[in-house]
Structure 1
Amino acid sequence: MRGELTKNLKSLLAPLEGTYRLLWFILTLAVFVMLYSVHIASAYWDDPIKVSTGWVFYLIAFVLIAVYFKVQAHLFSNNALLDFLNEDVFPEKLARHKQTGRVDPVDLAKVKQLSKKEFLILKVASLTFKQFVTGLLISVAVTLLGFIYAQLRQDFSAILPFILFSLVMNILCYPRLQNYEDRVFKLGGRELLDEEIKSRAEA
C-alpha cells in the first residue's frame, strides 16, 4: 500500500497541487520579469554608479535567505509534521476550494472515503500552504532587493547574485505534494495503517 495513492486521494491532491504550482509559476515568472526589466533599462545606462549603502541590500537579502531556510527547515522537520498530524481538521475544510472558498460536495464525499493514512496525507499537504507561499514571497523579495539595487547602481550585473539565490530558493520549494506520503508513513502513518488493516481483518 505504501507508495500507491488511490484515485480518490489523487483526485483530491491534483487541484491542490495545481494551485501550488500555479502560484509557483507566477512568482517565479515575476523574478524573470524583474531581471528582464533591468536588462532593458541597462541599455540606457552608462558607467555604474557607486552606492555607499549597497551593503544594506546584501544584509537584508542575507536575513531574508536565513528566514527562508528557517521556515523551510521547520516546515520539513519532524516536529512540524507531527504538529500537522495532530491538528484537528474537519473533512469540510479539506474539501473547500482555495480559489472559491466553497465546499465541494463531491470532494467532501471523496474525503470521507479516505483511509486514515490518506486523510493524514491530504491534511498535511493542505496545511503547508501558508509556509509554501511564505517561502515564495521571500524569494521574490530577494529579487526585488536586487532590482532596486541594480537601478540605483545602474548596473545589470548588480541584480545577478540576488537572482541566483531567488532561483535556488524557488527550485527548493517547488511543490511536490505526493512526497508527503513517505513522511506521513514514517511519523504516524505506519501505526494508523496497522490499525486500519487490523480493523478490516476483524470486520
Structure 2
Amino acid sequence: MKLLIVEDNIDLLESMKKILSDEFEVDSATDGEEGLFLAFQNIYDAIILDVMLPGMDGFEILKKLRADRIMTPVLFVTAKDALEDRVKGLEIGGDDYLVKPFQAPELIARIRALLRRSGSLTIEHTIRYRGIELFGKEQEIKVDGTPVRLTIKQYELLEYLIQNHGKILTREQIYDRIWGFDSDTTVAIVEVYIHHLRKKLEAYGYHKDIQNVRGVGYILKEFKE
C-alpha cells in the first residue's frame, strides 16, 4: 500500500516516514507544489497533508484534488490550537485530522482507520468473542447473530477490548489507542464510551463482561456470579 506525506518540517517528515515505512510504501514532498504534482501523478491509498506549507497550503491542495475527482483519503496534520483549520479541513473534503504533537501509535491508528473506511485495508478474518462477531471490512457487528448498530468510536473501542480480552487495559491505553492526543477530549471520555457500549450490549447479557479494574481501567472477560 502506498502513502504520500506532504510536510515541510524535515525532522517530522523523516520521523513519519520511519514510522510508516515498515508497513507502507511512502512518497514525500516538502512543499505544496511538489505534493500536488505527486498526488496527480501517482495513485495513493492515503495522503498525510500538513496545513501550513510553503507555496501552496494543504487546503488549496485538497481543493484541487477534489475538483479533479481524486477522492484519496486525506489526513490533515494541524497545530494543536488550530481549531478553525481542523473544521475547515473537514468541511472542504478532508477525512480526518491529527493534532501536533502526536505519537507513533496515534499516527498508525489514524491511517489504518482511514484505509478501513475506504476499503483499502481489510481484516482477513472476523474477530470473535463469545457470541460477539466483528466484521472488519464492513465495520459491522453481530451479537448472538443479531446486527447491532455502533458508532465508529464504539466499534473501535469494542474491537480493542476484544483484541485484548483477558488483559487489563488502563484508561490511558484505551484513550491513546482510540482518541490519541486530540486536545478536544480528555481521558474521561473513556468512561463515557464504556458506559454507552455496555448499554448497547446489555440486552444480550454481555455488558457485565466489560469489567472495571478499580483505579486502573477495564478488562474484557466472561463475568461469573
Classify the TM-score, shorter chain. Answer: under 0.3
Q: Which has the higher strand share?
A: 2
Relative contact order, higher structure (CA 8 A, sep 6+): 1
> Rg: which structure is higher?
1
**TM-score when scaled to structure 2?**
0.20
